[in-house]
Structures are given as structure tokens and as C-alpha cells.
Amino acid sequence: MGKRRVVLTGLGAVTPVGNTVDETWRAILTGKGGVDRITLFDTENFTTKIAAEVKNFDPLNYFEKKEARKLDRFTQFSLVAADEAVKTSGLDLEKEDRDRIGVIVGSGIGGMDSFEQEHIKLLNQGPRRVSPFFITQMIIDIAAGQISLKYNLKGPNFATVSACATSAHAIGSGLRTIQYGDADIMVCGGGEASVTPMSVSGFNSMKAISTRNDEPEKASRPFDLKRDGFIVGEGAGIVILEELEHALARGANIYGEIAGMGFTADAYHITQPAPGGEGAIRAMRIAVKDAGLQPGDIQYINAHGTSTFFNDRNETAAIKTLFGEHASKINISSTKSMTGHLLGAAGGVEMIISTLAVKNNKIPPTINYEFPDPECDLNYTPNKSIDRDVSAAISNSFGFGGHNVCLCVKKY
């Protein structure tokens, strides 16, 4: 028996450039950046004073005050994105077997803000003042748990945690769950809210993030010679995956077919990618083969493209090695140039963008591309989106710890 086919029937996003999928997609196509001065805390003593924050997000527009207080920001983002995904899917959950619907939603860092706030209470006011909700605000699996509770979804339910590959791992795991017959519908993706003092200072100490404080709008510049580190972002990206026959039977709107996934490890260094992007090559090769395609069938790559020296150089090398002469014919973009790096939520948001690129035949740009790097010499779709027929695309996500994920989406 062949693998069950899986399609994307719902999309939901909260990002630094829009609080819905439609807002985000329109911003991405127009090259609108979401990086600015940090407003969530006082940056006076910080080396980096910029981030890609979610704008105009009031939890009370989505939650009762009492409920909002029990939810960390990363869970709030995840729930809002999941709600949009469920609504756009057109699912009537009253007619579905909820034992056959699962949730895999992860986070790279989880409730960092809750952790920091409650630790301050512990130090200043003593252990009795720590909130009884602290643990269930902080733990990474709680977003998946809260989504499951909200919609009474009783299928497979867990969180993935693999740094910046987290939500791509969640989506790939959801694909396999449906293919193996353990569910018919999966709610998958990730949420992150790590624009916090500890996160920013930690990334500063390891010299991973940009210090271009005087030009926030130009700080995220993947593949550009003058890149100086990534930009911490926040938000959520959630997709509804559904077995094809199930989707057709209910007349679902199908955005695209998720056809392949590749999971690999570098086993090289805790933060740096393997030389030449060796682990990335294998992840991309596996995903393309899993989708029943050849490398020459790919027209678009949503690159991991973090705007760090090592990632961009090694990802470029990996693409050139796997795709050979075809590499120069592929449109590549790093939408992190606009959204910043959403860490554990990046793969979910970028899978949504890749899916919309395939569905709408539009390639998003890489903004802030001004000074070509001789070692990054492919077509990164500089500064302006373009129209192009796209029948298949891949989305790359690589995480600290040497985790690599590649997901392949085809036109349905």
C-alpha cells in the first residue's frame, strides 16, 4: 500500500509583519520589514537594542483577562494562529472524529518571559510569591496542550523542541503521523516569544545577533556581504495537515500538498553548521526524494537564511552541491530578512510562505540585499518579489545542536 497523501487545508500566523496570514503574506510580497527598536523591555545596557516584535497584539482582543494572565506570550501567539488555521480550514469539528485529530506544536525556548518574571519574584519576594500557574505557563508542551483542550482534540499530542528547526520538525512529524494512519488531521507548527532580557543578552554573549542598532530596518540582511548576525523575532505559524481523501470528502480548500520531509543531524558543532552544509544537503536530498521528485523539479527554496556568516555561506554551498547546474535556475529567498528569526516558530511561518508561493506563483524577496558576497552567489530574489510558475518548493530549517529539516510542498 502506498503512503497516504497529505494536503494543507488551513493556515494561521502571527508575525512581526502581520497578525494574520493575509497580512503577513501581503507584507512579505511588498518587502515590508518588521525589525525595529525593542519596546518590550528597557535596552539601555544591552549591546543589541533591536528585534522583530509582533506589533499591535493585545491579548484581551483574543482572551478573557483572567485567561490571558495564565498564558505565556508564546502560547497566546500559538492559540491565535491555531484559531486562524482552524477557521481557514473550514473544519466543522462537531462532524469530525476528534480521536483522529492531533496536535504537534513546539517552541525553541518556551515561556521565557514567564520564567524571568517569576524568577524576579522569587529573588525579591520569596518562594511563596511564585505564581501557581508558573510551570504551566513556562513548559514548552503547553501550547500543544492548550490547543488540544480548546478544540477537544484527542489524537496524538506532543511538542517538538529542536531550536530553530522546532516547528519544521512538528510539521514533518505531523505528515508522518497521517501517512502512517495514526490520524486524519494534524494541527502543527510552533510559537515563540523570546524577545526578553535573558534571551537577547544570551544571544549577544555568543555574538549571534546583529548590533546594527542605528539601522534596524536594514539589520536582517541574509546572504549580503555586510550581514552581522540574526534578528530575534517572535510569533507563531500553525498549519492544518489533512489526509487527501478526507479533505476531498468534505470539500476542503486545499492550499498545497505536503509531499516530502527530510530530517538529519550535522553531528559536527553545537552552533556552527557542518562544513559545506553537509547535513543540509542530506536533508534536502531526502525531502525531494520523499516527495517523488528530482532536484530539477524544484523552482523555489525558502532558505533558512539567518543573516549569520556561517549559515548563509554553508546553506549556499549545500544548495549548489545538491542542485548542481540547476541551482542557478532556482529562486531562493530568506523571508527572515523581513520577519527576523522566529526561532522555534520560524519553520511554521516559512512553510506557510512556501505554500502560498506555490499556490499563487509568487516568489517573496530577500530584502536588504545590497552587497553581494562572493561565497553567496545564487539568485536570492533580491529586494523585490517576482511572479513565477512554482510547482514545487522546499523550506529549510536548521537549529543549534545540528538539527536539519527540509519540507517539500507541491502544487495540488
CA distance linking residue 408 with residue 287, whole number of Å: 6
CA distance linking residue 212 with residue 218, whole number of Å: 8
pLDDT tens track of the chain, all 412 residues? 579 999 999 999 999 999 999 999 999 999 999 999 999 999 999 999 999 999 999 999 999 999 999 999 999 999 999 999 999 999 999 999 999 999 999 999 999 999 999 999 999 999 999 999 999 999 999 999 999 999 999 999 999 999 999 999 999 999 999 999 999 999 999 999 999 999 999 999 999 999 999 999 999 999 999 999 999 999 999 999 999 999 999 999 999 999 999 999 999 998 888 989 999 999 999 999 999 999 999 999 999 999 999 999 999 999 999 999 999 999 999 999 999 999 999 999 999 999 999 999 999 999 999 999 999 999 999 999 999 999 999 999 999 999 999 999 999 9
The answer on 155 and 176 residing in a single domain is yes
The answer on 237 and 153 residing in a single domain is yes
Q: How many helices (H) and strands (E) does the chain have?
A: 13, 14
- The catalytic site residues sit at 164, 304, 341
CATH number at residue 208: 3.40.47.10
A 10 A CB-CB count for 293 gives 18
The answer on 400 and 313 residing in a single domain is yes
CA distance linking residue 391 with residue 406, whole number of Å: 17
Residue 257 lies in a domain: no
Helix (H) or strand (E) holding 345: none
Residue 97 lies in a domain: yes
Residue 150 lies in a domain: yes
What lies within 8 Å, CB to CB, of 292 at 6+ separation is 259, 260
CA distance linking residue 74 with residue 71, whole number of Å: 8
How many domains does one find in the chain? 2
The answer on 238 and 136 residing in a single domain is yes
Helix (H) or strand (E) holding 180: none
Structural Rg of the chain based on CA atoms: 20
CA distance linking residue 159 with residue 128, whole number of Å: 30
Residue 379 lies in a domain: yes
Instruction: Label residue 125 exposed, middle or buried (CB < 10 Å: 0-12, 13-18, 19+).
Output: exposed
The answer on 237 and 189 residing in a single domain is yes
What sign does the CA torsion over 75, 151, 239, 186 have?
Answer: positive
pLDDT computed for residue 211 by the predictor = 98
Under DSSP, the state recorded for 222 is T
What sign does the CA torsion over 214, 55, 380, 175 have?
Answer: positive
The answer on 188 and 63 residing in a single domain is yes
The range of the structural domain enclosing residue 294 comes to: 262-410
pLDDT computed for residue 273 by the predictor = 87
Residue 138 lies in a domain: yes
The answer on 155 and 18 residing in a single domain is yes
Domain boundary at 183, 215, 249, which? 249
Helix (H) or strand (E) holding 387: strand 386-387
The answer on 295 and 244 residing in a single domain is no
The answer on 95 and 14 residing in a single domain is yes
The answer on 401 and 283 residing in a single domain is yes
For 106: left if phi > 0, alpha if psi spans -120 to 50, otherwise beta; the answer is beta
Domain boundary at 188, 219, 249, which? 249
> First and final CA of the chain: distance in angstroms?
21
Residue type present at position 348: G
Domain boundary at 249, 277, 302, which? 249
Residue 254 lies in a domain: no
Instruction: Label residue 240 exposed, middle or buried (CB < 10 Å: 0-12, 13-18, 19+).
Output: buried
Residue 103 lies in a domain: yes
The answer on 104 and 195 residing in a single domain is yes
Give 316's Cβ-side CA count (13 Å radius). 22
pLDDT computed for residue 1 by the predictor = 59
What lies within 8 Å, CB to CB, of 45 at 6+ separation is none
Residue 234 lies in a domain: yes
Among 373, 253, 239, 361, residue whose Cα is nearest residue 307: 373
Polymer length of the chain: 412
Reading the block at residue 404, the C-alpha cell is 536539519
The answer on 380 and 272 residing in a single domain is yes
What is the CA 321 to chain-centroid distance, rounded? 25
